[in-house]
Amino acid sequence: MFLDKPSYIQKIEQALSPVLLEGGYELVQAKLSNEFNSWVLKFLVDREGGITVEECAKLSREFKYILAVENIAEIRTKDYILEVSSPGLDRPLTRIQDFERFLGSKVKLKVQGSPSFHSGRKNFKGEIKCASERDFTLLLAQGEEVKIPFQDIEEAHLMIDLPIQSKAGRNSK
């Protein structure tokens, strides 16, 4: 389930919590992954009104120091690259509160396993209609509503609706 976190990620989040709270930041996601034979510890951080590149650089320095002091075995034994960035417009939804916060927003998501709802379909796009502590309702493009348990979500992201402008519609000089 996407809401479950490995214990070492929970330890990392706990260690970084004072710095995040002090600056009014929200840790959207933390994950350790092996990319092209290198370990990468990625943090997606946001705050009301967005986050700047300078803030990401400052947080990166602070996180590096804090994690050097912490005794978290899963990262202490690895040579890793630390990344701090904005979650972007297509930010991941990683907590139940995200679904409540973004009610009315369009999302895309993938469910894991063999879902017992909607004919075993695994990928969905639609608008968040309501959320409870166990599930949320997604309004699909066809007008159909699907109730999806949080425990079945593998990953979820906000969708971006960018206007597409044809070449004929552009101003030319």
Indicate whether 162 pLDDT > 80: no
Look over the chain and give the mean of its residue pLDDT values, rounded to a whole number. 88
Indicate whether 9 pLDDT > 50: yes
Q: Is 62 found in the same domain as 16?
A: yes
Question: What is the per-residue pLDDT across 135-158, written as a single tens digit (0 to 9) for each?
Answer: 999 999 889 999 999 988 999 999
User: How are beta strands 38-46 and 80-85 bridged, if at all?
Assistant: parallel
What residue ranges in 18-120 does DSSP mark as E strands? 26-35, 38-46, 80-85, 106-111
> Which pLDDT value is given to residue 161?
77
- Is the overall model pTM greater than 0.85, yes or no? no
Residue found by looking up tokens 């990468």 in the block:
40
Q: Is 56 found in the same domain as 107?
A: no
CATH code for position 124: 2.30.30.100
Q: Is 81 found in the same domain as 106?
A: no
Domain span including residue 57: 7-85
- Please choose, from the candidates 96, 83, 123, 118, the residue with its C-alpha nearest in 3D space to the C-alpha of residue 107: 123
For residues 115 and 149, the model is more confident at 149
Q: Is 123 found in the same domain as 78?
A: no
> Which pLDDT value is given to residue 77?
73
Enumerate the H helices of 24-138 as residue ranges: 53-69, 73-76, 96-101
Q: Is 74 found in the same domain as 14?
A: yes
Q: Is 40 found in the same domain as 14?
A: yes
Indicate whether 56 pLDDT > 70: yes
Question: What is the per-residue pLDDT across 28-39, written as a single tens digit (0 to 9) for each?
Answer: 999 999 998 889
Which residues fall within 8 angstroms of residue 157, CB to CB, at 6 or more apart? Answer: 90, 91, 92, 93, 107, 108, 109
> Which pLDDT value is given to residue 78?
81
> φ, ψ for residue 101 (rounded to 5)?
-65, -35
For residues 57 and 167, the model is more confident at 57
Question: What is the per-residue pLDDT across 69-87, written as a single tens digit (0 to 9) for each?
Answer: 988 888 877 889 999 999 9
Residue 146: Cβ within 10 Å count = 17
